[in-house]
Structures are given as C-alpha cells and as structure tokens.
Structure 1
Amino acid sequence: MNQEYIQPNEWSIIEEGFDREKVKSSESLFSIGNGAMGQRANFEEHYSGKTFQGSYIAGVYYPDKTRVGWWKNGYPEYFAKVLNAPNWIGINVFINGVALDLNTCKKVKNYRRELNMKEGWYKRNFVAQLSNDVDVAVEATRFLSLDIDEMGAIQYELKVLNSDAAIKMTPYLDSGITNEDSNWDDKFWNTTNISSHRNRAFIEAHTMKTNFATCTFMEASAVLNGVKLQGKVCDKKETWIGLEFEQLLKKGEKITLHKFGGYTVSRNHKASDLVDVANKVLDKTTQLGFDAQLQKQKEAWAAIWKMSDIVIEGDVKAQQGIRFNIFQLNQTYLGKDSRLNIGPKGFTGEKYGGSTYWDTEAYCIPFYMATKDQQVARNLLKYRYDQLGKAIENAKKLGFKNGAALYPMVTMNGEECHNEWEITFEEIHRNGAIAFAIYNYYRYTGDYSYIPEMGLEVLIGIARFWHQRATFSSHKNKYVILGVTGPNEYENNINNNWYTNYLAKWCMEYTINQIEKVRKEHSSDYARIMNDTQLSETEIVEWNNVFSNMYFPFSDEYQVFLQQDGFLDKELVRVQDLPKTERPINQKWSWDRILRSPYIKQADVLQGFYFFEDHFSIEQLERHFDFYEPFTVHESSLSPCVHSIQAAKLDRMEQAYTFYLRTSRLDLDDYNKEVEEGLHITSMAGTWMSIVEGFGGMRIAENTLSFTPKIPKQWEAYAFKINFRNNIVKVRVTTKETSFFVEGDTHITINVDGKKVNLPPFKEINV
C-alpha cells in the first residue's frame, strides 16, 4: 500500500492532520529551493520528534574520506558529501516558559501545510495545546527568493487563543550542525566568527578541507498591533546566535515575526566581503519587505510556468504529479551558473552525494532544452567540457592512457567520488550518455557550435576510452567489453552488457563522423583540436576496426539482444509471479540473491532502444519490450519513464498511463518506501518526457520537429509548450484533434503522424 495522505490538488501539495510518522516524508515532499540553495521542510520552531534537518548550498561540499574494508587501486579518495549547511530558519518559541514543540503538545488540531507550486511558497498552519493548557494558533509562511537567490523569507504569526500569555520568540542562526550520513563523524564546518548589529546576526564558517567560506545571516523583526517590538541579542554561544523578542500577549492578540536569512559564499564573492555582501542583501530585502518580496516570487514563478507548464484536463492526480515534478526541477536548477548541475536529490536530502550523475545527460537535458533558452542546456554540456581534464585523470588512475577520458559516476569538481566498486569501476556506460547528450543537443537546437568549440575534445577522450576498454576475443573473433555494470544495477561484473557495447560502438562511430565534419567546416578549430589531442589517423583507423567488429549477445531462440552474456542462464521467473510480500526486492532480498535473479532494476536494453529508436524497427522494439518488461521491477526512479514512452509508441496506452503515474507520483505516493531520504529530482525530468515524448510523440526526425500525438483514456485533454530553435510551439491534444500554435514571427513546418503541417505564426492549426 502506497502512502496517500497528500491531498489531490492541481497546483498545491497539501497535507492535513498532524502525524508524527509522516514528518520526515513531508520534510522531503514540501522542500523548497531556488537553484542557489534549498532546504527540507523542517519546522521553524523546535521539534523533538523524528526529523531530518537539512539546509543546502549549491556547490558546497565536503570530501569525506572513503571508508572501505580494503583498498583497491584507482579507488576514489573521498565521497563528496552534500553538506547540511548552517541553519537560518530556526525560531524558538516559549509560551509562559513552555517550549512550543509539536512532539510534546497535548493536542495538535487543524494542522495543514501547503506547498503552492504556482506561486513558489510554503505555508504551515496549526492550533496547539501546550502542556500548560495554553492554546496557540500558528501560521508560518516561507519561500526562497528567485529574485535575490541568496535570500529566503519567513513570516511567522502566533495568536494566543484561550488566555493571556507571556511570549518569547527567538529567531536564531546555528552552525553546529551535522550530516545524517558521515563515514568518520568528521567535523564538516569550522565556525570562525559570530557577530550582530542591531536586529541582524551573522555566522562566518568554512568547510573543512574544501574551505568554502560562508556567511549565514539573518534579520528579524516583530510586530504587535502595528507596533514594532524591540528585540535584543541573546548571549552568543560557540556556534549559535539569536535575537529575542518578549511580549505579553492578550487573549486573541497576534504577533507577527519576519525573518530574512540566507547565505553568501566564497564561490561567488571574496571571503573577506561575505558579511558586507550579506548586509547589502538584507538592505535590499528589508527595503522591499515581506509582502513585496512574496509578490516578486509569484511573478518569477508565473514566468517559469508560462513556458514550462503542462496542463492535464480531467485527471487531478496526474496534473498534480507533473506540476510537482516540473516545480522541483526548477527549484533545483535554473541554468544561471555553468559550475552547477542537477544532483539526484537536489536540495531535498543527502543520499548519493555529488552534484551530477549520468542522469543529467540522459534525462534532464531534454527538459531544459525544451522549456528554457538553449543556453541553459549548453551550460550543462559546458560543465562536462570544463571537467574534461579531471575525466582524463580519472581514466589514468585506472590504467588508461593517451588522453582517454572516463567521466565520473558521481562528482562535484570532475573527480570521481563514488564509493561502490561495482559502480565506480564498472558502470562505464555513463561516458556514453555524455556523448549522446552532445548529439542530442545539436539534433534538437541545431546549434553545432558547441562541437567544434568544446564537444569534439570530449568525444575524442570518450572514444579513446572505449577503444582501450574493449578487448579482442579470439574465441568470438569480435571485440568484447568485460566486467561491467549496465543501467540495471541488479547485475554486477557481467560481460558484454548490450547497452554498454552498443553505446561504445556508437560513440566511436559518431566521433569519427564529427572529426570529419569539423575538418571540413571548421578548419581552425580542427587544427587546434588535433594539436591539443595529438590524435593520429592510425588511432582513428583502430577505432573504426573496434566499432565495426563489436560483439552483441543475441538469442536466436527469443530473437532479442541479450542484456548480457549470461542472462539466459538465470531462472526466468516473471515479476508477476513474485509474491508481493517479497517486494521491493532491494529491501527484502540479500544482494547475492538479487544478483542471481533475472530482475531488472531499470530499463537496460530498453534504455538503448530509447536513445537509438531510429536504429530499430517497431517490431524489434515490441519484441524486446515484451521480453524484458516482465522482468523489470522498476526499483530505480529512472525506469518507469522509459517504459511509459515505449508503451505509448507501441500504442499500449493503458500501460503507458500506468507507468506515467508511477514516475510522476513516485515521491508523492512513495512507491519505493524511501521518500523521507529526499526526492528523486533527476527522474522528474523523465516524467516530463513521458508526456511530451511519450503521449505527445515529439521527436526530431530528419531535422524536423515531429509529433505522433496520443491521449490516455483517463484524460480529456493535455497541453504543453516547447522552445524549438527559438520558436515557442504550443501543443494541445484532445480526444478528437491536436492543435498547434506558434508564438513568434517565424513560419515553421512540422510533421504530424508522418504528414507535413505548415504552422504560420500566431494562428492555431488543428490536425
């Protein structure tokens, strides 16, 4: 049974009723972010129950020394911890000397929290009866500004309901925080200075080892009956400072506290200037005030939704799911800073560490290409180019030579920092996803300039890796790739993973084609690149020999490519024949049993069919889908979206819809029983793909935008926009027809169900 306590709503995530067992899950689901920082939905007031405290600053991390039983050559020195940053949201509240703590209150009534996705704010309401029988009503609203991305704002309103009471409210900063996970219980932060000025406070601290300097800051003010109250600075502690507001409240009176806070960081400013910059941020913020800042927040989100919204008519849960996914993607990454990327948990938890996986290239880039300016996607590709030197170093540590590049599975700065050997050393298909993203970017945007300027050097490093990683088998008279883990992480250290081998073949062939294109069309870039990489014709001939003679395991009996050499040696029991009590298997089975089973964590062969669908016939797709889908347990967040897209292509709309709901509500309904650890941010881009590429059938075919629209029977209509080569195309699909509308001055031609359709600007065309 999945959780179902989130109320269906088209624009908001709503929880009603206080349940201690759901606190940690809700802290994930109601998380907020603005691309530069983010935080879990922890309570402002103290909470003594089970909680997962989490505030995060983009790009700030700690290299936690790797902890393994025995060391392996080439092993990463550290695991990059996404750091829990100093806490600026805290507000201690005392009523007649008793702490407001929902875990110890006699009663909690009218509890409600809402994450308003349309306007970008989070609100919590409740009535609590304390142990001293005083009843209070609280309404707390907060947001992280898109306008001033170093700042967040809180409005905390408290009313005494049944008696007069002495109220003490203490907004504070605290740098004495720890991570949920730590290999050695290291101290991650060193607090260097605590200061205050009037109603402002500052904590300067830096990370150990990486030495990111930060200033956590706040300004607080309180108002009662229109009169501003005088606060005082509390006694400083070693890692803590607070401002104190004390007042006698009469029955029915309401006190309103405003708290502005956030972080300035040495990634963006001189370390010596962080307090000065924080003061300027607070000057700007307080000059506008809470209400004006909230209005700016609403306007900023309105602009985002104008381009990225997907409207679904007739299915509230499906509508809520897609908007939740789009909202979280935009909270995580807005494309402003090419040094940043999209972590799999975003700003919602610490699991996995690192700031990027292959998820970005495989799943996220299509979303950002289509819903924002192409420069945003280009920044994601530039991120990999800027880390090419580190990718070459990573490969060298493993014994590769001559500029071969192995991009990391997990990274913050280009260095590999993942600690599971079967992934660190073996999940090398990540290299192929990066090459595919370069191809996909050009295919979609038509912007070839990235390849001669940056991309070709990345492709050459990757092709060199595949050339050296392949082994010639005299037994098979083919090149093989041994000892790998494919996307299906429920098979480790296997030989000839079809997806990996196919990517390797494609990468080398594609790189050779791009070398020739750059040679002909960008001669100066070609000369520079050949000089820098020292690439020889002999090397290219060797690549050609490898990719032309790559081995692919195939079953004559089933007429399918095999996921890996030994797949048919397994006991092929379908998922539907597994007792439900044994699911999910990653929580119920031993790892040994999982590895010997036929069960697939996520699309593997089918992932290759998704990337390269034009290489295979519809009959081949159907045969492979029918063979592999029954063994897929979808215990990776990245799996259902690929299956949804392919089911729609095969006209299996009920199955496609089921997979869509699973990917769109993966966290809202907690399918994998782990949402309290954080959200699955990168798979959320797959949800967008499920609609646009799955139901909408959007593709780039022969350099032309094309659609094969379909609609689930549960929907009355759906609509989305895409930015295709600076033309905004709006698509609306109903049960009867599809309409297209181009915003802009350009006349474009598209394909719909294989037929050309001319779209004049600002005129709706029905098909």
Structure 2
Amino acid sequence: MTDFTLTLADLGNTSAQNIETLFAQANGILGVRASLPIPSTESSPGSFINGFYESHEIVYGENAYGYAKNHQTMVKLFDLRTIEIAIDGESEFSLLEQDLRLEMATGILSESYRYATKSGKKIQIDLESLASHANRAVYAQKISVTALNFSGAVKIGKKARHIKPEGISEFDPRLKESSADLQISGNRYRTKNSQLDLFVKFDDFDETLSLAESQTFTFTQLYHLSRLNDFSDVTYDTLKMQQTAIFKDFWASSDIEIVGDDKLQKGIRFNLYHLFNSAGRDGHTNFAAKGLTGEGYEGHYFWDTEMYLLPFFIYTQPEIAKSLLTFRANILPQAQKRAAELEFAGALFAWRTINGEETSAYYPAGTAQLHINADIAYAFELYDNVTGDADFIAKNRKVIYEIARFWMSYGFMSARGFEIHEVTGPDEYTALVNNNFYTNKMVQNTFYYAAKLAVRFDENLDEALKWSTAANKMYFGYDEKRQLTQQDDSFLDKEPWEFDKTPTENYPLLLHYHPMKIYKHQVLKQADTILAHMLFSESKEQIARDYDFYEPLTTHDSSLSRAVYGVVASKIDRNEQAYDFFKAAATMDLDDRQGNASHGIHAANMGGSWLGLIYGFAGLQLENGQIKTSNHLPKAIKSLRFNLLIRGKMTEIFIKND
C-alpha cells in the first residue's frame, strides 16, 4: 500500500505536543500520546481510557435552577513511554535527531531517537508501538537501545508513571486540568469522586547492562489497562500480526483514493486513521471531541458524533456506528431525567457529557443547543436508511419517540405555525434565539421520522398525527425583500461585525471578546443555516443566495465549519471554492490550522473531510435505499475512488474529472 506513511516532514508544526497528538496511538478504549522517550519540558505525555473520568462540583458565582451540577473530565492517566537511562552514571541527555514513521496501513508507529550525554556518549533508541485493536486493553512497545560511540554500563528503567495534577497555565475555555489524584489499592486505581475503577497490569523493566560499541539491546513491554480485572496472556509479535490484519480489513472497506493531490491523499487517510482509532466500541462509550489523543474539551461527547462522524461509520463501518448509537440509547434514562428536571416531556440529551448527565456550565452555548436531540434522531434515521438494520431500530425506537415528545412540549403552535423559541443553533456566536432555521429543520425531520416509525410499528398513532401536523406546520423565517433564509427571527436585524477592524490575532473571537459583544452582531462561528442546506434539499438558487450572504459573516473559528461550506459549495457547482474548503479540512491538524492540535485531534473536522469528498465532490444522495452521485470534482483532482456499504452490499464508486 502506497502513501500510507506519516512522517515529521508531513507536519506544519513539529512542536513536541503537536507530534504527541498526531502520532498518538488509540483503539477506541485506550489512547497514548506519542511523547518523547526522554521527556523535555515541552512534552505533555499521557494515556487515556475512553469514558474513564473524574467529576467535581461546578461552583457558580450565581447559581440557578437546572444548571449543570458537575464537571466530568477524562483523566490523563499514565506516562507509558518515558525511559530512564544512565550511561556510566550520566543521566542528562540532549536530543540530536528524531524520526517518526506512522504506518497507517498497519497501525504501527516506528520511532528513532539519537541522544548524547554531556561527555559526548551517544545512544540510539528505537521504538515500535501499537494500541492493540485485537486486545483493546493493551498498549505494546518494542524498545531497542544501541550504544553508538562507546562501551560501558547502561542502566535502563521503564515503568508506568501516574501523572499528577499540575494545573493549566494558558487561558483557553476549551481546556481543563485532566490529571487526577487516584486512590490506589494493589492494581486498582479508583477516582475519588466518580468512584470509577481501573485495573492495570504493567510489565515494568529495570536492568543495568554492559553494552559494547554498536551493540543493541532489545526488549518488549505490554501495558494492560482495563475497567475489568481480567487480562489475557498475549505476546508482542501476536498483537502486531493481528494489528496488521485488522488494518488491512479497515482500509479495504474505508480507504479513499485521490489522484491529483498527494498531500490531500495523505491528509484524508490520516483523518480516517484517527477516526477508526478513537471511536468507542462497547455501547457505553462514544467519540470524544479530541478522540483519545489529548485533553481538549475534557473528553466530552458532543453532537459532533452524530452529524460529522457517524456518516463515515454508517457508510463504511456500520458495526462501529451501531455501538456509537447504542451509547445514546443506553443514556436515555439520563436524558429523560434531564427533560423532567426542566419540566418538559420526553428526553433531553446532554449537550456535553461522558456519563449522560449535562456537564456544560454555560447554558447559552450548552444546554440551549437543544438541536442535539434532533441530531441524534437524524443519525438513527440515517443508520436505518443505509443499513436496513430493522432489529436495531425496533429495539431502540423509543429513543426517537422520546425525542419527539420533548419537542412537542418545548415548541408551540402559533398563528405562524409550530415555533421553537429560546434555543442556540450550531452558530455559538448567536445564542438564545427564536426559530433557528437549522433547529426547526432538524425538528421537522425528527417529527416526520417519529411518525414514520409509529406507523411502521403500528403504535402511538394519535401522537404520530400530532407529530406530522407539527412537522407540516413548522415555521421557517424568510426575508422576502432580500430573498434570504433567516438564520433566526433576529439575526438579519443585527449590526454586522466589523471584520476590517478585527486583527488576525483576535481570532478565535471567543478568546478575545465577551459573549455580549459577540451575540449582538451579525457574525457566525460556524455553518448554521448552511449546514441545514447541506442536509436537506432546497433550490440551488436559494442555497447560493444564502451561501453568499452567510459565508462572509462566518469566522470559521470552529473546526466544524469549513467542511460544511465546502460540501455546499459543491452542491451549487462552485467546485473550486469547495476544493479550497476541502484542503483546509483535510489538512487541518497536519498543518495545525486552528493553532491547537497540541490539545488533541479535531475529530469532527476529520469526519467533515469525508463529507467533503463523499457528499461534496461525489454528490452522494441516498433515496429509498438507492445511491445517487454527481460529479463535482475540482480541476486539481483527476479521480476519486471510494467504497460504500449499503444494506450489507459493498459498492465501489469511481469518478473521473472528464
């Protein structure tokens, strides 16, 4: 397989923490950052277990009824990579050279480092590692130490080091201290507040060797971390062989071949690689916003999963998609409890969560983003339509009914139609508005789907009639004079943001301006109305007018934005604009375009880059179980090849630019 190798030459920012993120290894349960074997002050080593979190009470200066009660933060656990080395008693080293090669075709990371002591003695450390997909409790390493220009005593120590809390030094609301004090009893580590258990089995190493010049010493280590105190006996070589076979199968169904732009070819494969690695597999975990590669956004699950990640999994890896949707079904009781707490019917899913409870302390850009309810329903429907998995939908249809019941109790019928007030749409720079177009469109879709299920299963028919009526009478704002879709009832009346007076260093705006300053202006953080246009059919002329109005007002401060605008640009035949947006999405982390890849990958954008190719360039549409495509390839892309799995049948799509 060609062009499946990532090296340092592919990165736009080779800072230590960026490298740790981008070369991180993960398997859906366990993630390990690719930190230096001999750490520097710039390093941020660590490992994570999906869904393993600590909780703390949220302290409000001014509290109110129904506010989220507790933080939940995925715990940064152990440094599994640091090697303690001394050469004839010298233990201080300077890094001379480093080389990293991530073989995405096999899921194996190979590294080589050269270090020197103050007296000039040089060693080479070669590492080979994997987070096993065959046994997801295991991180495995093969380590070689070579004496380059000396003969002498080399002391090697390698053991897991629990990372203690140190605090966050930079101001960024997307970050929070993630390491935690853990209660240790034997091989059990327990969080103090959330009372979650983690069991470990580590192959620690400590030995002093006598190495001759050019002699190499090699050893392997297996680190087992599991929520269950039950570990299998495995070997490094077996795990490596299994890993290679698993990734061969993954790429056979999920690879995308681009001819014409080698950088974008590598970019999309890098994105798909990380999507496969960080997705939860057990029905009790989901997909954290930064995957299992960093501590950004505290390891929380958002709407990102449903709207940006699940399309890729539904069309290529339906079993993973089923697991991610099962997580939502399993936290339905928490969503029902939350709706009841706020005195609404049905279920209200948390905006950001790990265990199903709301953890967003800032409700205007948190709980008020009620569209997550409709996003979840949309994802269930997409899975239903693409896979035809009738048993799964039959088992979990209550999720859709409960979401529809929430919307019936939250919205209301007016003289204009069914209206939904006091919500925040995808654009987090415009909060607490009436009749957000995206939200109303998604709720309309939820009502239609819930009614369809009710008829399919011959139940709740009285409710189904009410849902259908509400959907048919859903209110959508429209400015007849300007012939524009209204993002909400007030957006078009606001004062435009003064972009020409905003210095480049003041982006993202959320780090430099108070919400009151931002909310009163016409300015978008990300695609909102345009996201609705990506998902639903409108006239090409209407979409183009809305695109031309909203795109210049969009900062793209959110990594979720560019891919959506790219898909819609394809939809209105602006193929070269779409190409520019796709380039930004496909290489966002490789080029560190958002300036914070060190916090972890931008998972939703990675899913968005798949959308850019499949929904955008290939114009994918699914109608009654049948796929339709249209050619929107930009000039630079000569051809595009990919696979889709529709109702159990694999179909290869090939599009040429002629």
**TM-score after normalising by structure 1:** 0.80
Q: Is the 8 Å Cα contact of residues 27 and 52 (structure 1) preserved in structure 2?
A: yes
AA aligned opposite 2:585: T
Counterpart for residue 623 of structure 1? 545
Counterpart for residue 189 of structure 1? 182
Match status 1:56 vs 2:56: no
Counterpart for residue 126 of structure 1? 113
Counterpart for residue 661 of structure 1? 583
192, 203, 226: which one aligns with 1:264: 226
Distance 1:186 1:718, change over 3 A: closer
Counterpart for residue 124 of structure 2? 137
Distance 1:251 1:353, change over 3 A: same
Query: Distance in 1 between the 2:599 and 2:122 partners?
Result: 33
Counterpart for residue 172 of structure 2? none
Query: Distance in 2 between the 1:245 and 1:541 partners?
Result: 74
Q: CA deviation at 1:440?
A: 1.4
**TM-score after normalising by structure 2:** 0.93
Distance 1:34 1:21, change over 3 A: closer
SS in 2 for 1:353: helix
AA aligned opposite 2:630: T
Counterpart for residue 521 of structure 2? 597
Q: Aligned runs of 1:491-506 on 2, under 5 Å?
A: 491-506=430-445
AA aligned opposite 1:162: N
Query: Distance in 2 between the 1:30 and 1:185 partners?
Result: 20
SS in 1 for 2:79: coil
AA aligned opposite 1:415: E
Q: Is the 8 Å Cα contact of residues 392 and 406 (structure 1) preserved in structure 2?
A: yes
Query: Distance in 2 between the 1:32 and 1:354 partners?
Result: 16
Query: Distance in 2 between the 1:462 and 1:310 partners?
Result: 35
Q: Is the 8 Å Cα contact of residues 450 and 467 (structure 2) preserved in structure 1?
A: no
Distance 1:215 1:89, change over 3 A: farther
Counterpart for residue 243 of structure 1? 205
AA aligned opposite 1:381: L
Query: Distance in 1 between the 2:631 and 2:84 partners?
Result: 54
AA aligned opposite 2:619: G
Match status 1:44 vs 2:37: yes
Q: Is the 8 Å Cα contact of residues 8 and 14 (structure 2) preserved in structure 1?
A: no
Query: Distance in 2 between the 1:715 and 1:370 partners?
Result: 23
Counterpart for residue 26 of structure 1? 19
SS in 2 for 1:609: helix
205, 209, 220: which one aligns with 2:193: 209
AA aligned opposite 1:249: L
Counterpart for residue 202 of structure 2? 218
AA aligned opposite 1:245: E
Query: Distance in 2 between the 1:20 and 1:659 partners?
Result: 20
Counterpart for residue 363 of structure 1? 308
> How big is each residue's C-alpha offset from its partner over 1:288-328, in whole Å with a ceiling of 9 and x where there is no partner?
xx344323322221111111111112211101110011000
Task: Identify unmatched segments of 5+ residues in structure 1.
Answer: 1-8, 194-202, 220-241, 267-273, 520-525, 531-535, 737-767
Distance 1:732 1:384, change over 3 A: same
Distance 1:371 1:542, change over 3 A: closer
Number of corresponding residues: 651
AA aligned opposite 2:355: N
Q: Is the 8 Å Cα contact of residues 88 and 216 (structure 1) preserved in structure 2?
A: no
Counterpart for residue 461 of structure 1? 402
Query: Distance in 2 between the 1:322 and 1:389 partners?
Result: 37
Q: CA deviation at 1:577?
A: 8.3
Query: Distance in 1 between the 2:349 and 2:416 partners?
Result: 29
Q: CA deviation at 1:420?
A: 1.8
Q: Aligned runs of 1:542-557 on 2, under 5 Å?
A: 543=467, 546-557=470-481
Query: Distance in 1 between the 2:395 and 2:222 partners?
Result: 43
Match status 1:146 vs 2:108: no
Counterpart for residue 674 of structure 1? 596
Match status 1:482 vs 2:421: yes
Counterpart for residue 317 of structure 1? 263
Q: CA deviation at 1:21?
A: 7.4
Counterpart for residue 761 of structure 1? none
Q: Is the 8 Å Cα contact of residues 527 and 565 (structure 2) preserved in structure 1?
A: yes
Distance 1:629 1:296, change over 3 A: same
Counterpart for residue 288 of structure 2? 343
> How big is each residue's C-alpha offset from its partner over 1:595-623, in whole Å with a ceiling of 9 and x where there is no partner?
2332211110111112222xx22222222
Query: Distance in 1 between the 2:160 and 2:27 partners?
Result: 20
Query: Distance in 1 between the 2:266 and 2:478 partners?
Result: 42
Q: Is the 8 Å Cα contact of residues 46 and 78 (structure 2) preserved in structure 1?
A: no
Query: Distance in 2 between the 1:659 and 1:184 partners?
Result: 33
Match status 1:353 vs 2:298: yes
Query: Distance in 1 between the 2:524 and 2:645 partners?
Result: 35
Counterpart for residue 147 of structure 2? 160
Q: CA deviation at 1:573?
A: 5.4
Counterpart for residue 10 of structure 1? 3
AA aligned opposite 1:142: S
AA aligned opposite 1:413: N
RMSD: 2.6
Q: CA deviation at 1:354?
A: 4.7
SS in 2 for 1:98: coil
Q: Which has the larger radius of gyration?
A: 1
Q: Is the 8 Å Cα contact of residues 498 and 564 (structure 1) preserved in structure 2?
A: yes
Q: Is the 8 Å Cα contact of residues 75 and 178 (structure 2) preserved in structure 1?
A: no
436, 452, 467: which one aligns with 2:378: 436
Query: Distance in 2 between the 1:174 and 1:12 partners?
Result: 30
Q: Aligned runs of 1:491-570 on 2, under 5 Å?
A: 491-519=430-458, 526=459, 537=462, 543=467, 546-570=470-494
Q: Is the 8 Å Cα contact of residues 354 and 410 (structure 1) preserved in structure 2?
A: no
Q: Is the 8 Å Cα contact of residues 151 and 212 (structure 2) preserved in structure 1?
A: yes
Q: CA deviation at 1:29?
A: 1.1
713, 727, 730: which one aligns with 2:635: 713
Q: Is the 8 Å Cα contact of residues 87 and 152 (structure 2) preserved in structure 1?
A: yes
Task: Identify unmatched segments of 5+ residues in structure 2.
Answer: 169-174
649, 652, 656: which one aligns with 1:730: 652
Query: Distance in 1 between the 2:416 and 2:641 partners?
Result: 52
Query: Distance in 2 between the 1:575 and 1:654 partners?
Result: 24
Counterpart for residue 423 of structure 1? 365
AA aligned opposite 1:356: Y
Q: Is the 8 Å Cα contact of residues 156 and 258 (structure 1) preserved in structure 2?
A: yes
Query: Distance in 2 between the 1:354 and 1:252 partners?
Result: 44
Q: Is the 8 Å Cα contact of residues 56 and 193 (structure 2) preserved in structure 1?
A: no
> How big is each residue's C-alpha offset from its partner over 1:614-646, in whole Å with a ceiling of 9 and x where there is no partner?
xx2222222211221121121112111211111
Query: Distance in 1 between the 2:443 and 2:357 partners?
Result: 22
Query: Distance in 2 between the 1:43 and 1:307 partners?
Result: 33
Counterpart for residue 470 of structure 1? 411
Q: Is the 8 Å Cα contact of residues 92 and 169 (structure 1) preserved in structure 2?
A: yes
Q: CA deviation at 1:176?
A: 5.0
Distance 1:17 1:686, change over 3 A: closer
Counterpart for residue 639 of structure 1? 561
Q: CA deviation at 1:578?
A: 5.6
Q: Is the 8 Å Cα contact of residues 80 and 353 (structure 1) preserved in structure 2?
A: yes
Match status 1:393 vs 2:380: no
Query: Distance in 1 between the 2:651 and 2:180 partners?
Result: 51
Match status 1:607 vs 2:531: yes
AA aligned opposite 2:296: K
Query: Distance in 2 between the 1:429 and 1:341 partners?
Result: 18
AA aligned opposite 2:487: Q
Matched-pair identity in %: 27
Query: Distance in 2 between the 1:489 and 1:19 partners?
Result: 28
Counterpart for residue 295 of structure 1? 241
